[in-house]
Structure 1
Amino acid sequence: MMRIFTVLGVCLLACGGEPRRVVLDGEPELAFPNVVTTEHSEVKLTFSPDGQRMLWGSTDRTGGPGAWDIWEIVRTQGEWSPPHPVSFDTPQNDFDPSFAPDGSGVYFFSNRPGGIGGDDVYFVPFREGAYGEALNLGPNVNSTGDEWGPVLSPDGERLVFASDGRGGKGKHDLFVSVRGSVAENLGPALNSELDDFDAAFLHDGRTLVFASERRAAGQVDLHVSSPVRGRYPEPTWLGNTVNSTEAWDFGAAVNPHEPGVLYFNSNRPPHVLGRGDIYRIKYRLAAMVD
């Protein structure tokens, strides 16, 4: 079944300046069952650009150094390794990994000692199959509050993340730091008076899918917005194909090797393996008249 939701804006990259709509094709399906999606809680999947690594967060998988850990599997000779904690994990909370589009490293948040606030955004370089030392991104990004869900645009120019310590309209608002500059709020139309977080750039490099409580406190759904003249307008609810009344729906992500596929988190019945599962669904951005 195909469901269509209008994006109240335009796609400014490779879209001819025409208004767009998001077409969801089919129903969500579990992603990598019994490889990534298991009886544990898996959150916010990310993919290395070479397709050889998948990272995600978990709050209940045993064997890591902390309570919230980042896990990884590596593909070798066509087989995925067993999950193991990444080398930059700590006994503190480490979460929301996101590979840089050029493969140079991983963005994530952590409340490890030495930060500016509670949960801070870090970047760990990756080279020749090994991770380096995690670096705090400093006060242009981090605040005395909490920063979550960092993701870099495909062109490497814009880091989008959520913060509750930089002012704004609601609890967590979405912010953007352009080439390391002081982060700016993505605007009162995009953000709500409640939590807005876990953004992901779709494959056009402009359209954002993100999680929001804007429909009701305690109900987290996925929404979508594309920029109009450089600003994000009020987002569109992504509908009940991906949004479940019985679950939070968040953790949006894309794989550079799978254009037109959206990954997200939910624990929707009847396909529940753990407290939080990862799903995938096909989509496309289309002209208003197609």
Structure 2
Amino acid sequence: MKFKSYTLLFTILYFNVYPQQPQSFLEQLLSDKVEYSLTITPDKNTIYFVKTDSFYVSKPKAIYKSVKSNGVWSQPMKASFSTHDSDSSPFVTPDGKRLFFTSRRSVNGKQPVGSNIWYVDLVNGKEGEPTFLKEVNSDTSDYSPTTDTSGNLYFGSYRDGGLGSGDLWWSEFKNGAYKKPQNLGSKVNSKFGEWGSCISPDGMFLIFENSGKANNLSPAGDLYISHKFNGEWQEPFHFDEKINSIGSDLTPKIHDDILYFASNRPKNNINNWNNVDLYIISVSKLLDNFNNNNWSKTQCGFEFKVGNGITFLPDTDIIVISKPTGELDKLNKNQYSIFKLSFNENGSHSESKLDILSSEYTDYHPVISSDGKYLAFNSTRPNAISKVENGKTNIWMSTIENGSIQAPKYIESINSDFNDSYPSFTIDNRIYFNSDRPGGKGNMDIYVSDLINGQWQKPMLIEELNSVHSENDLVVDPEERFIIFNRYISKTNEIDLFISYNTNGEWSTPSEIKSINKPNVWELTPTLSLNGEYLYLEINGEIKCYPTRKFLKNE
């Protein structure tokens, strides 16, 4: 069983089968020389790419165009705007209305030192006149422009203020104009060189080339990925053999679910370093495999202690946890706060407190929705209605907008004047949680609230799941096929895990997960991995991991 990461679900318009591994693309259009930097229009009927005679020796190059008609691609011809022998790096914007490219053509009669960024507008399949992007270009060399759906421009440059030979920069598109470019910082850029790059349509991750890092497979350049979380770019991860080869792997471009890139990898065990061809791979499959590979370093052997809760931001290397701060909160109890962990390539991690979620009270058990849009957690801070400091736990919720966590809000329609805690989301953002409000069967009971037109509805008690005991920490399968929770039985002082399956909207009688439950051990705060393959539990303050395939439907 495998769950998808719902931040990046694209509609596939060109392929009936996702390319699971890098595959050659449109070989019938390619020569035995160099083709690279392919971009494609949203309707998948027009491609642009660069063509030249040599990859390692400077030769004239131009942008070529091919159009598909009745399922057949036309013979590539030089694009109408590519009138100079130095045109490169075409990129069609996500809305298909503009094509950016680079060129060394003269500007106001003067020959530039290096390449500059230009664009043409695309109207009814025709390219307009080239326009020099004055707001962004420098007096050095600027290259590899791409944009997200908001129009923000990401590109490479040799300009002052960088960290290496070439750095990656961005310019915010606001009120119809580009703002002063900003360097993407030391987590993305290095003392070596960052070259061709492409921003994802939602602006949440960046795939780029690097040359010079010790773990590169090729001395000429390997592909890396960096994610944005809470407005900050994270440490990049190397794609290793999933994409990279001993040849050069370069000029990544993302369109819908496809990553297009160029490579001179060996073919049929023959090395021809001057034959650069075009390749494709599914973005969602690539990220799914990538996430699984990265988490495999830690998912069954975390080297840190967690006080209460662990959750994953989809399609990133980010974990959000809660743990004790070592101090007392305002209610004079041991304080818990919420932290972010960012993992490095070697499996080590950095840690920082998420101040926007933390208060002088106790904040714990964070959980992020499958689509990455909501983060909910438990808090003992006074609720926003009564403002009474009574130590009750309620559910607070933040939205995640453009990678930034917003200030949390008290959800009045879900919470009560009693304890409400341990939220868990489904893919359509129903929220399950427990509460000791009146009207239940036991001390704590499981409820569910639907999200309709942006509003959380009045919670409903789920009769089948509850008992005269206490149903506490819980996690629901995002597709609502099963729910796992622990049940506290006061007579024996035991807390054990139970599971219930959903069939046609009806929950089965909960049964113990006997393969996990142990006598005199409390199994707490269940959480599922993004792909659903692992169940995480807090046991004696440490994270334990259990493959779900070993107990689902086997209990």
When normalised by structure 2's length, the TM-score is 0.44
Query: Percent same amino acid among aligned pairs?
Result: 28
Q: Take 1:40 and 1:168, find their aligned partners in 2: how far apart are those partners?
A: 33
**2:261 alignment counterpart:** 264
Distance change >3 Å, CA 92–CA 166, structure 1 → 2:
farther
How big is the shift at 1:47?
0.4
Determine whether 1:162 maps to 2:194.
Answer: no
List alignment gaps of at least 5 residues for structure 2.
9-17, 289-313, 318-528, 532-555
Contact 1:117–1:143 (8 Å) recurs in 2: no
2:21 aligned to which of 18, 27, 32? 27
CA deviation digits over 1:185-214, x for unaligned, max 9?
Answer: 011110011110211133554211100114
**2:204 alignment counterpart:** 206
1:145 aligned to which of 135, 140, 146? 140
After TM superposition, the structure 1 = structure 2 runs for residues 27-106 of structure 1, keeping only pairs within 5 Å, are: 27-35=21-29, 37-60=30-53, 67-106=60-99
Residue 52 of structure 1 aligns with an amino acid whose one-letter code is N
Q: Take 1:25 and 1:42, find their aligned partners in 2: how far apart are those partners?
A: 20
Question: Which of structure 1's runs of 4+ aligned residues deviate more than 6 A?
Answer: none
Contact 2:48–2:66 (8 Å) recurs in 1: yes
Q: Take 2:71 and 2:221, find their aligned partners in 1: how far apart are those partners?
A: 37
Bigger drift between 73-82 and 208-217 goes to: 208-217
Q: Take 2:49 and 2:198, find their aligned partners in 1: how far apart are those partners?
A: 14
After TM superposition, the structure 1 = structure 2 runs for residues 123-138 of structure 1, keeping only pairs within 5 Å, are: 123-138=119-134
How big is the shift at 1:67?
1.1
Contact 2:119–2:132 (8 Å) recurs in 1: yes
Distance change >3 Å, CA 203–CA 130, structure 1 → 2:
closer
**Number of residue pairs matched?**
260
Residue 282 of structure 2 aligns with an amino acid whose one-letter code is K
Q: Take 1:198 and 1:224, find their aligned partners in 2: how far apart are those partners?
A: 12
**1:119 alignment counterpart:** 115
Q: Take 1:251 and 1:185, find their aligned partners in 2: how far apart are those partners?
A: 20
List alignment gaps of at least 5 residues for structure 1.
1-10, 16-23
2:167 aligned to which of 173, 177, 180? 173
**2:245 alignment counterpart:** 244
How big is the shift at 1:43?
0.8
How big is the shift at 1:26?
3.8
Contact 1:25–1:283 (8 Å) recurs in 2: no
Contact 1:110–1:119 (8 Å) recurs in 2: yes
**1:3 alignment counterpart:** none
Q: The residue matched to 1:160 in structure 2 has which SS?
A: strand
Residue 191 of structure 2 aligns with an amino acid whose one-letter code is E
Q: The residue matched to 1:34 in structure 2 has which SS?
A: helix
1:183 aligned to which of 181, 184, 193? 181
Q: Take 2:204 and 2:53, find their aligned partners in 1: how far apart are those partners?
A: 34
How big is the shift at 1:40?
2.4
How big is the shift at 1:142?
0.8
Q: The residue matched to 1:122 in structure 2 has which SS?
A: strand
Residue 241 of structure 2 aligns with an amino acid whose one-letter code is N
Contact 2:147–2:153 (8 Å) recurs in 1: yes
Residue 39 of structure 1 aligns with an amino acid whose one-letter code is D
CA deviation digits over 1:118-177, x for unaligned, max 9?
Answer: 100001111122111101101x31111111110011x13310000002421111100001
Q: The residue matched to 2:28 in structure 1 has which SS?
A: coil
Contact 1:57–1:70 (8 Å) recurs in 2: yes
Contact 2:105–2:112 (8 Å) recurs in 1: no
Q: CA RMSD in A?
A: 2.4
Residue 91 of structure 1 aligns with an amino acid whose one-letter code is H
Contact 2:259–2:282 (8 Å) recurs in 1: yes
Residue 251 of structure 1 aligns with an amino acid whose one-letter code is T
Q: Take 1:238 and 1:203, find their aligned partners in 2: how far apart are those partners?
A: 20
**2:279 alignment counterpart:** 279
Contact 1:186–1:231 (8 Å) recurs in 2: no
Distance change >3 Å, CA 105–CA 187, structure 1 → 2:
same
Contact 2:84–2:103 (8 Å) recurs in 1: no
CA deviation digits over 1:77-119, x for unaligned, max 9?
Answer: 3221110000011233000100011111210000001165410
Q: Take 1:118 and 1:168, find their aligned partners in 2: how far apart are those partners?
A: 16
**1:110 alignment counterpart:** 103
Q: Take 1:82 and 1:42, find their aligned partners in 2: how far apart are those partners?
A: 14
